[in-house]
Structure 1
Amino acid sequence: MTNTITYEFPLNERIRVFIRLEQLFKQFNHFLNGASVWDKRAALNVLLDIMAILSRNDLKSELLKELDRHSKVLNKLSQSQGVDSEKLSQLLNDVGRTSKNLYASSGKIGIHVMESDLFQSIAQRSSIPGGTCSFDLPEFHYWLEQEEAIRLKDLQQWSTPFNDIRNAIDLILNLIRNSRRDTQEIAKAGFFQISLDHSQPYQLVKVSLDKSLRYFAEISGGKHRCTIRFMVPSNDEKRPLQSSDDVPFTLSCCQF
């Protein structure tokens, strides 16, 4: 466990969607490994959230564009002196393999899940608050009471076709986060503003501060300028206020 809290702020919509899906996939894995009925209900709810995002975005195309961009950057780096050629070769292989797997996947992402009558019923009723009670969906209630091996097999079958998407997102975000440039900064009276170089493809800003400091970071802005405010959590119903103290923190600008 680290002694810092890190806040991330994506600088474009593509990375914003990737991070949301990354979080949902992590949640799904967490609940998938739980053995209770409530874990399995939560896992299905998360899977529905993943499908909702995928239905609104041409994610396969966005991922392939991003992987292609990373491949070009990595190939340019291979011509630079002092580069770890073995590590670079491994990264290029990872990007190439991930792209190939995405290209090979056919059809609309997630369409396979709706081939299950049970899943269709759950999806239709989930839009109603409390709409998946046992009297609403007795088949779902029956499924939830089955052996763990049966429930796990079905959830893995429904989620496996999303693996190529998840692997691509994990690879891209890992490359971006590891391309960071860290600087130690001071937010005067809890306020800090940064102007980003327009010629650099910045994708993500990270703010890290010590857990012992009683502030949280509010980040706003876009690809050219970001504003960071350190707020004091409220102990009552009032809105949190910006700190009047100078706040030390680590700023990471990630591009790749």
Structure 2
Amino acid sequence: MNSIITYEFPLNERIRVFIRLEQLFQQFNHFLSGATVADTRAAINTLLDIIMILRRNDLKSEILKELDRHVNVLNKIADNQSVDTEKLEQLLAQLTHTSKRLYASTGKIGAHVMESDLFQSIAQRSSIPGGTCSFDLPEFHYWLEQAESNRLKDLEHWRSPFEEIHTAIDLILNFIRNSNSSTDEVAEAGFFQIALDRSLPYQLIKVSLDKSIPCFAEISGGKHRCSIRFMIPSSDDKRPIQSQDDIPFALTCCLF
């Protein structure tokens, strides 16, 4: 069992959206593996959230820019003797392959999902709390009562347009999270402040601490300065308070 808990703080809106999508894709895959009707309902609700984010953001062009930028960074360090050449070439191949597939895709991402009359009906009624009951959507109720294999086939079909986006986001976030090594720090009386070098393209702050420490990290700030407060959760419905103890933690300022 992992004894470390990590808190992440994105330093720009692009990374914030990427992490939200990453979480939603993880949730969708979790519910997709479930066999119950409740799992199927949860998977569809999660897919609707994914579609909503993609509708609001021009993510395809943002992701392609990020992939191209990471390829350029890796090409620049390729001649460094300390670099694992084989691993670098594998990563470059992954980035290039994903980028080509995204460039080759046409139209708005996921547009064909809404061509399904059933999915359109579910999407329309889902804006109403509890709006997808059997008396609201008898067709949906019928579909939910079909064999698990039939429901899974449709869910896989509805998910397929988003697979390249999912792969690209995983590659980008993994690259960013592993772009720098962590340092051991201590938050005196539960408080720590970071001043970031403005000349470097920081993307993400990671704070890791042992789960045995009865605090959570509250991170605030922007791309030039961040504050970390270690808060003690309340057990009696009162607001959390800042710890007065010195809290050891690992800090990673992620680049690229």
Q: Same fold (TM over 0.5)?
A: yes
C-alpha displacement at 1:180, in angstroms? 2.2
- Aligned counterpart, 1:249: 249
- Aligned counterpart, 2:15: 15
- Aligned counterpart, 1:178: 178
- Aligned counterpart, 1:166: 166
Question: 1: CA distance between counterparts of 2:84 and 2:131?
Answer: 55
- Aligned counterpart, 2:195: 195
Question: 2: CA distance between counterparts of 1:4 and 1:247?
Answer: 14
Question: 2: CA distance between counterparts of 1:84 and 1:150?
Answer: 45
Letter of the aligned partner of 1:219 in structure 2?
Answer: I
Question: 1: CA distance between counterparts of 2:82 and 2:208?
Answer: 29
Aligned 1:50-199 pairs, distance under 5 A: 50-199=50-199
- Residue 97 of structure 2 aligns to a residue whose secondary structure is helix
Most deviating of 42-51 and 179-188: 179-188
Question: 2: CA distance between counterparts of 1:26 and 1:88?
Answer: 26
Question: 1: CA distance between counterparts of 2:180 and 2:173?
Answer: 11
Aligned 1:221-232 pairs, distance under 5 A: 221-232=221-232
- Residue 198 of structure 1 aligns to a residue whose secondary structure is coil
TM superposition outliers: structure 1 runs of 4+ over 3 Å: none
Question: 2: CA distance between counterparts of 1:18 and 1:113?
Answer: 21
Question: 2: CA distance between counterparts of 1:74 and 1:125?
Answer: 46
For residues 47-93 of structure 1, the C-alpha deviation after alignment (integer angstroms, 9 at most, x for no partner) is: 00000000000000000000111011001001223221111111111
- Aligned counterpart, 1:233: 233
Identity %: 74
Unmatched tracts of structure 2, length 5 or more: none
Question: 2: CA distance between counterparts of 1:147 and 1:83?
Answer: 51
Question: 2: CA distance between counterparts of 1:135 and 1:110?
Answer: 28
Equivalent residues, number: 256
Unmatched tracts of structure 1, length 5 or more: none
Most deviating of 173-182 and 122-131: 173-182
Letter of the aligned partner of 2:254 in structure 1?
Answer: C
Question: 2: CA distance between counterparts of 1:45 and 1:74?
Answer: 38
Question: 2: CA distance between counterparts of 1:195 and 1:58?
Answer: 31
Q: TM-score, normalised by structure 1?
A: 0.99
Letter of the aligned partner of 1:62 in structure 2?
Answer: E
C-alpha displacement at 1:243, in angstroms? 0.5
C-alpha displacement at 1:222, in angstroms? 1.1
Letter of the aligned partner of 2:96 in structure 1?
Answer: G
Most deviating of 214-223 and 72-81: 72-81
- Residue 213 of structure 2 aligns to a residue whose secondary structure is coil
Question: 2: CA distance between counterparts of 1:235 and 1:83?
Answer: 49
- Residue 112 of structure 1 aligns to a residue whose secondary structure is helix
RMSD: 0.7
Question: 2: CA distance between counterparts of 1:76 and 1:185?
Answer: 31
